[in-house]
Amino acid sequence: AQSVTQPDIHITVSEGASLELRCNYSYGATPYLFWYVQSPGQGLQLLLKYFSGDTLVQGIKGFEAEFKRSQSSFNLRKPSVHWSDAAEYFCAVGAYNTDKLIFGTGTRLQVFP
């Protein structure tokens, strides 16, 4: 069965610092992988997705993520965090032969000035 693990519940960084949010998945074949962001009081918004091809994918708001099959990981990165990036981030995995998306438990990002 598919599963997603986000090991970090809460991360705090200073504005301008680099960021890496971890995501590990469990799935037998190549999964479809996603990162969504939830700003306070808002619904979730897609940041980026990986289906196939280049393992480094670029998303909106300056985010990128790298698919590493050997590590079953899809970590989200940003070289320089802005205060407006404070939000909750969800990694999600889907299987090509299903219509179900499995979400991780989320990582709450706090940004200090």
Footprint of other proteins on this chain (CB under 8 A)?
9, 32, 34, 36, 41-46, 49, 51, 90, 94-96, 98-101, 103-106
In the bound state with other proteins, the residue whose beta carbon lies nearer, of 18 and 39, is 39
Which of 7, 16, 48 is CA-nearest to residue 112? 16
Residue closer to other proteins, measured from CB, 43 or 113: 43
> Minimum Å distance from CB 42 to other proteins?
6
Beta carbon of residue 69, minimum distance to other proteins (angstroms, whole number): 18
What backbone phi and psi angles, to 5 degrees, belong to 13?
Answer: -135, 160
* Cα–Cα distance measured from residue 112 to residue 61, given in angstroms and rounded to the nearest whole number: 18
Q: Which residues contact 6 (CB under 8 A, 6 or more apart)?
A: 21, 22, 23, 24, 89, 90, 91, 104, 105, 106, 107
State the minimum distance, in angstroms, from the CB of residue 104 to other proteins. 6
What whole-number distance in Å separates Cα of residue 102 and Cα of residue 36?
Answer: 12
Distance CA 11, CA 68 (A): 22
- Closer Cβ to other proteins, 17 or 46, answer by number: 46
Cβ-based nearer residue to other proteins, 17 or 60: 60
CB 17 → other proteins: shortest distance, Å? Answer: 26
